[in-house]
Amino acid sequence: MKAAAPHIHDLGLAEYRTVWQRMQNFTATRQPDTTDEIWFVQHPPVFTQGVGGRSEHILDPGDIPVIATDRGGQVTYHGPGQWVAYVLLDLRRLGLNVRTLVRRLEDSVITLLETRGIQAGTRADAPGVYVNGAKIASLGLRVTRGCSYHGLALNVDMDLTPFTRINPCGYAGQPVTQLSALATDISMAQVRQALEQNLLDVMYSDRIA
């Protein structure tokens, strides 16, 4: 069955817990014919801890809240200047498994960086996208009833200092970078548009009815 083009929503700056609960509700109530959605959002400063997270990876949160969430993975940081793309997809309808979904999310970021002359890659032991060993995008997903939520976070032009208060994604000393440190003339709007198009290309280019 061909998939309809997803609905795209820009949520602006929104609290993490509110958006998380909306994702849960959407996924719990969706039907076989529910159209997929992709949500773009920036969050106020927050650390999120995945279901496999260990408290020792949160070194010094200070006044930044820590939220235990239901995505996979360890601890990461979200803040203004980072685009988060939440992918609320019917994987069965798209013919995807979790591993393929992860790879396509990574590919959407790698392609975006390549168009700006930045060579990026992945690691077999740690999902995400890396530039010269530094992490620029993190991934975390939840799949229930064959449908996904959560997604990817791409560092664009943000304060990276909070990453020093954690072991990013559970790796002590993991360096972190962002697009504004690697390329000039970067705007949040341009990155948002490019990331949306790349996600549509890798997920739907041959599947839209």
pLDDT digits (tens, 9 = 90+) for 16-68: 999 999 999 999 999 999 999 999 999 999 999 999 888 899 999 999 999 99
pLDDT band at 208 (very low <50, low <70, confident <90, very high): very low
Token pair for 39: 């949500």
pLDDT at 3 over 90: no
Give the pTM: 0.95
pLDDT score of 143 more than 60: yes
Amino acid identity of residue 187, one-letter, is: S
Task: Supply the residues annotated as catalytic.
Answer: 169
pLDDT of residue 209: 44
Q: In this predicted structure, which of 3-7, 32-36, 90-94, 128-132 has the lowest mean pLDDT?
A: 3-7
What phi, psi does 176 have (nearest 5°)?
-130, 145
Average pLDDT over residues 153-182: 95
Phi, psi (5° rounding) for residue 177?
-135, 180
pLDDT for res 60: 94
Q: Report how far apart, in Å, the C-alpha atoms of 115 and of each of 82, 183, 198 are.
A: 19, 11, 11
pLDDT for the residue numbered 207: 59
Percent of the chain with pLDDT over 90: 86
Domains and CATH numbers, the chain: 7-204 (3.30.930.10)
Contact (Cβ atoms closer than 8 angstroms) between residue 75 and residue 57? yes
Calculate the average pLDDT of the chain. Answer: 94
The confidence band for 125, taking pLDDT boundaries of 50, 70 and 90, is confident
CB-count exposure of residue 165 (10 Å: 0-12, 13-18, 19+): middle
Over range 84-101, report the average pLDDT.
95
